[in-house]
Homo-oligomer: A and B are copies of this chain.
């Protein structure tokens, strides 16, 4: 029997010429606001700063999967992932994150994780 299984929607979000990439408090707020916009529950936010002038890396662990962030302020670039399952809608994170980081250019790709017919 073949079943179609799609546990989650995963958005890979790249922002170029973005702002606030060294501001850890701003980033935590952005992740929490993005999760809330999607209807997701935050289990924990774990961020690490590499120091003055350097990037910030980390994740919001969600009951519905995760939002990750890795910033490269030296090239004004940030890589975000929004991976959510259940009744949440990860697309609702996009305008929130865009407002928070003000990119001049962005790219988003969507991946249906687990979305393959099983035998």
Residues of A at the B interface (CB closer than 8 Å) are 3, 5, 7-8, 10, 12, 14, 16-17, 43-44, 46, 48, 50, 57-59, 61-63, 65-66, 68, 70, 72, 75, 77, 79, 81, 83, 85, 105, 107, 109, 111, 113-114, 116, 118-119
B70 touches A85 (CB 8 A): yes
Q: Tell me the complex Cα distance, A83–B66, Å.
A: 14
Q: Tell me the complex Cα distance, A16–B7, Å.
A: 12
Chain B contacts for A63, CB-based, 8 A: 48, 50, 57
Q: Tell me the complex Cα distance, A77–B113, Å.
A: 10
Cβ-defined partner of A61 (8 Å) among B14, B58, B75, B113: B58
A59 touches B70 (CB 8 A): no
With A46-B59, A70-B65, A105-B118 in contact, do A79 and B113 touch (Cβ < 8 Å)?
A: yes
A107 touches B111 (CB 8 A): no
